[in-house]
Amino acid sequence: MNEAELLAEDDSRAIVRLLGEVAGHPGDHAAKKRHLMKGLCRIIDADRWAWGLAAQMEPDKPSVHLSLLHGGFNEETYAAFTQAYNHPEMSALHAGFAKELGERGCHLTRLRQHLDPEEDYKKTAAYPFWKKADIDGVIMALRPLDATRVSLIGIYRRNGAGLFTERENRIAHILLSEVPVLHTEGWPDDHGITLPSLSARQRTVMALLVQGYTRGGIATQLGISPHTVNEYIKTVFKHFGVHSQAGLMTRFRRGDGGDI
Amino acid sequence: MIFDGPNDTRSRPSDFPESEIRAIARLMGSVIAAKGGHAAKKRRLLDGLARIVNADGWSWTLHAQPSNQPPMLLDFMKAGFTARRFSIYQKFAAARLDGPIGTVTANYLRELLPGRDTGFGPALFSSASHPGQGSSLIGIFRKATSGGFTNRETAICELVLSEIPWLHAQGFPSEPTSRGRGLSCRLAAVLELLRKGHSRKQIADDLGISLNTVHGYIRMLYLHFKVNSHSALLQTCLHGDPSPPPNERSRIAG
């Protein structure tokens, strides 16, 4: 970013005001994250957001991440979003970003136009899920936390409302890159490092279970039979050594002190 | 709280270099990460702001302005002042509350306070009014021998001091303040200073009243909260962490 760049007064004021609110927010880290994301979405006219951890960011391996906090989704769009980001055909599109992150080792914020200038994602089988999630404009922010964890934030805009601009990307970058404590704190002890050994479909089921979807809800959203869902759930429970959905949810909410 | 528009006798470029916004955002990141309640975070923020604009001290004062009486100091925080110099400044701060709201550049404190030595020269002020409570004044200062604040430094202070209302206030919006507990101005002031760890003698000096009067107020506070001891009083009304006890000669941290 060019040091001589100027930020418009309105944007500058909005950034400082929002950070002041987050500093004065009475809640725990999850609540502060939510307030920050809600405020950011208001400033740059975004509709949805998700904040989670990436368990696998090596460019030559399939990308694996788990969204833990989110806003602006309903039951249907969130399930579609989960299927979209877990889709195997998305890995190739993330490879470049993952490589840059590995080389530079610092917080990066990118527009979808930067990462996928030819809109190759529209040619993948993941595209119908992005449409169903009502997501067109995307800003992605990645911040390496340590050798094994990457904090991952997606900011999304609905279909038909235009893509995010450089100005909006810059605002997101300033707001998200200068609050390191929100990236490092408030995560569950389980960072999802073992996720890569699950299949994409298993990871999708697991992500929905963690968010409290019922078995019937998962079957409906994924368009599969309840029997198939149960098989996936059995595998997921065994993988994490839990015996119930409640156990799984506790595993991925512990360390947060509050509701994800 | 009421802010009027910025009171400009100076021209102010409307855009901000990104590096300045990043510096402010980085400071806010450290305030978000900091432990402690409102007072600790206010101190950290104002220390950091002073560092960004190369200032040597700062103060926040809150005065009640009852009708037909002189303004009463309710609460304050400071850095870079000796106790004696602060009591000189504090009387000026009370008088300044009738002045314009918003950030203004003062030429030099010694021009505003002829013949009195506060140790400081160039100053920036930001005031705010708190309906039902009083008025606050935040000052950012440099030593008397220093050059004046630049337009950029002034713009940075104006941005931070106008966009973060809890800097002017006595607590975060979610917290009840002493005032809201049905106490008079003066009792609320004494309670607040006790909560911050001031001794009775210090309170007497800060508020410009006798030690006996302070004893009397504290007895009234015990009655109000139905307690019998100092520790019980603090326990009853503790909300958030108290700021560290004031030093005779506080320095900007870091």
**CB spacing of A178 vs B29 below 8 angstroms:** yes
Q: Taking the CA atoms of chain A, what radius of gyration do you get in angstroms?
A: 18
**CB spacing of A178 vs B26 below 8 angstroms:** yes
**CB spacing of B164 vs A20 below 8 angstroms:** yes
Q: What is the pLDDT along chain B (254 residues), one digit of tens a residue?
A: 444 344 443 334 589 999 999 999 999 999 999 989 999 999 999 999 999 999 999 999 999 887 788 888 889 999 999 988 998 888 888 877 665 666 666 667 877 788 888 889 899 999 888 887 788 999 999 998 889 999 899 999 999 999 999 999 988 887 665 544 567 777 888 888 888 888 899 888 888 788 988 998 888 888 888 888 888 888 776 543 333 334 333 344 33
pLDDT at B48: 98
pLDDT at A123: 94
Residue of higher predicted confidence among A128 and A93? A128
Best of A1, A19, A176, A177 to disrupt the B interface (most B CBs within 10 Å) is: A19
Burial of A27 (0-12, 13-18, 19+ CB in 10 A): middle
Residue A260 CA to residue A68 CA, distance in Å, equals 7
Residue B177 CA to residue B128 CA, distance in Å, equals 17
pLDDT at B246: 40
Residue of higher predicted confidence among A24 and B131? A24
What SS3 state is found at A224?
coil
**CB spacing of A178 vs B25 below 8 angstroms:** yes
**CB spacing of A178 vs B45 below 8 angstroms:** no
Q: Taking the CA atoms of chain B, what radius of gyration do you get in angstroms?
A: 18
* Strand ranges for chain B from DSSP E: 16-17, 57-64, 72-79, 102-106, 120-130, 134-143
Chain B residues inside the 8 Å CB shell of A22: 28, 32
pLDDT at A147: 79
**pLDDT of A255 strictly over 50:** no
**CB spacing of B32 vs A23 below 8 angstroms:** yes
Angle, alpha carbons A29-A31-A32 (nearest 5°): 65
Chain A residues inside the 8 Å CB shell of B172: 24, 26
Question: For residue A108, what are its two tokens?
Answer: 């990066």
pLDDT at B250: 36
pLDDT at B230: 84
pLDDT at B207: 80
Residue B254 CA to residue B235 CA, distance in Å, equals 31
Average of per-residue pLDDT across A244-248? 93
What SS3 state is found at A13?
helix
Burial of B99 (0-12, 13-18, 19+ CB in 10 A): middle
C-beta separation of A32 from A25 below 8 A: yes
Residue A223 CA to residue A54 CA, distance in Å, equals 26
**CB spacing of A24 vs B38 below 8 angstroms:** yes
Q: Determine the distance from the C-alpha atom of residue B62 to the mean position of all C-alpha atoms in its chain, rounded to a whole number.
A: 6
Helix axes A9-23, B151-163, angle to 10 degrees: 50
Nearest to B229 by CA among B202, B201, B194, B203: B194
- Within an 8 Å CB–CB cutoff, is residue B33 touching chain A? yes
What SS3 state is found at A51?
strand
pLDDT at A256: 45
Best of B21, B26, B138 to disrupt the A interface (most A CBs within 10 Å) is: B21
pLDDT at A181: 87
C-beta separation of B141 from B78 below 8 A: no
pLDDT at A60: 76
pLDDT at A78: 96
**CB spacing of B25 vs A4 below 8 angstroms:** no
**CB spacing of B25 vs A175 below 8 angstroms:** yes
Best of A2, A9, A16, A173 to disrupt the B interface (most B CBs within 10 Å) is: A16
What is the rounded average pLDDT for all residues in chain A? Answer: 90
**CB spacing of A182 vs B172 below 8 angstroms:** no
* pLDDT, tens digit (0-9, with 9 covering 90-100), for A106-116: 999 999 999 99
Residue A200 CA to residue A198 CA, distance in Å, equals 7
- Within an 8 Å CB–CB cutoff, is residue B173 touching chain A? yes
Who contacts B227 (Cβ-Cβ below 8 Å, separation ≥6)? B233, B236
The DSSP bridge partners found for residue B137 are: B61, B127
Residue A35 CA to residue A18 CA, distance in Å, equals 8
pLDDT at B96: 74
Out of A12, A15, A179, whose CB is closest to B32? A179
Residue of higher predicted confidence among A105 and B49? B49
Chain B residues inside the 8 Å CB shell of A24: 38, 41, 164, 166, 172-174
- Within an 8 Å CB–CB cutoff, is residue B241 touching chain A? no
Residue of higher predicted confidence among B131 and A182? A182
User: CA of A170: which chain B residue's CA is closest?
Assistant: B18
* pLDDT, tens digit (0-9, with 9 covering 90-100), for A35-62: 999 999 999 999 999 999 987 777 777 7
C-beta separation of B171 from B239 below 8 A: yes
The per-type count for chain B, helices as H runs and strands as E runs, is 9, 6
